[in-house]
Amino acid sequence: MFAPDHPLITTLYIVASALFIVGLKMLNRAATARRGNLISGVGMLTAIVATCLLAGMKFHWILLGAVVGSAIGAVAASAVKMTAMPEMVGLFNGFGGLASMLVAWAEFHKWRAEGWAAYHQLLGPGAPDSPRFTAAAIAFTALVGAVTFSGSVVAFLKLAEWITGRPILFRGQRLVNGLIVLTVLAAAGLVTVRPEAPWAYGAFAVVMVVGLLLGVTSVIPIGGADMPVVISLLNSYSGVAAAAAGFIILNNGLIVAGSLVGASGLILTNIMCKAMNRSLGNVLFSGFGATESSGEAAAAQGEVKPISVEDAYYILEAARSVVFVPGYGMAVAQAQHVVRELGQLLEKNGAEVKYCIHPVAGRMPGHMNVLLAEANVPYEQLVEPGDVNPTIENVDVAIVIGANDVVNPAAREDPKSPLWGMPIINVDQARTCIVLKRSMRPGFAGVENPLFFKPNTRMLFGDAKASVSALVAEFKAE
């Protein structure tokens, strides 16, 4: 068994931390993301090896957990459908929070069973002398871990549509949430002030149980359209909980890994909020999408113009610039591969092809990027709305594949729309806009889309994969 301050242990944790940082940096580009994920995995393996060396003769329990966890993760990752990837990411966030909560629970139990003097000695060199600091760290870890776990479960249920994706609101909800917050903060305060008191165990149980309740009540009022923000925020929570757990057990590798996840999740949350032109407070507390519409927003009016595959082919065949705008509908239809094939055929026909991805398209950050990377779409062809909108009037054809809210012109045109002010992709200003949808149903936000009635819009109804495959067949037949 090695001491926590042994040079080998310190070196291994430094190496693991460096690999985490390098891997995270490489995730910034689709071309290097897989390699970055692998490097981060090697970093985690290095951290596990260091922890096994610390554990001494009890290392076999750590190895058993690592093997079982790796097996479950491998099976889940290989079996999950791409449409269910947001739900899986939500669960991963939740399990990270649950792990941190259980660490806090175990450490508090160990403290109470051994006494402060024995527990302080078990922590080893560098342990804080103040029991209140340690108690505060334990209570904080348990609270954030509990909120992350239960909140992530609710997000999973909403994304999987096992419960309604709309905000779940009730009278006096903010008052109830306020009382829950006051209760859990009071319990955490009691644990911090008197951790050795006989009733401290009960107060700690309140922190965990009410923390789980707080996670539920804080996520149920958030609508499905805001799920990308919620996923990234919960990801940040899981990192914060892990870092706090690292402070409890004095594990530098866990502190660094948790800090990276927490900071990157918070940065991503900020990016998502900016993409919707909304504050985080508005996302968390506004109950966006609670009704089918605001009740005052202008109703979408006009004539829908359906188009056949053959007519769509003639439009595309004459196009010299085409922009694909993917959305969740592309994920549902698993159409990314045929979309890539159609893009290649358009390029051979002399068209300039781009894929414009809105930051909140899909149901998690980067959802569309993952799908198109899976289809080997060149990274250089992936562009953001800011790259396309200034010259969208010169685009011959914009093809919207299952996207809805991120192309809704009501965000520009109707101040009473729930989407008002949200930056969108201005596909309605292209020379021709072809929308691939199964029906006229609104998107995940539940807001009607006037794009469908624009004079330059043509609706190609049907399964996206079947429709694009038919277009591919038309090009190949020629």
Strand-pair partners of 402: 326
Residue 125, phi then psi, degrees to nearest 5 = -60, 140
**C-alpha torsion sign, points 132, 4, 97, 28:** positive
3-state DSSP of the chain: CCCCCCHHHHHHHHHHHHHHHHHHHHCCCHHHHHHHHHHHHHHHHHHHHHHHHHHHHHHHHHHHHHHHHHHHHHHHHHHCCHHHHHHHHHHHHHHHHHHHHHHHHHHHHHHHHHCHHHHHHHHCCCCCCCHHHHHHHHHHHHHHHHHHHHHHHHHHHHHCCCCCCCCCCCCCHHHHHHHHHHHHHHHHHHHHHCCCCCCHHHHHHHHHHHHHHHHHHHHCCCCHHHHHHHHHHHHHHHHHHHHHHHHHHCCHHHHHHHHHHHHHHHHHHHHHHHHHCCCHHHHHHCCCCCCCCCCCCCCCCCCCCECCHHHHHHHHHCCCEEEEEECHHHHHHCCHHHHHHHHHHHHHCCCEEEEECCCCCCCCCCHHHHHHHHCCCCHHHEECHHHHHHHHHHCCEEEEEECCHHHCCHHHHCCCCCCCCCCCCCHHHCCEEEEEECCCCCCCCCCCCHHHHCCCEEEEECCHHHHHHHHHHHHHHC
Task: Give the catalytic positions in this structure.
Answer: 405
Buried b (16+ CB within 10 A) or exposed e, 73-106: eeeeeeeeebbbbbbbbbbbbbbbbbbbbbbbbe
**Angstrom distance (rounded) from CA 190 to CA 451:** 56
Closest CA to 146 of 197, 206, 221: 206
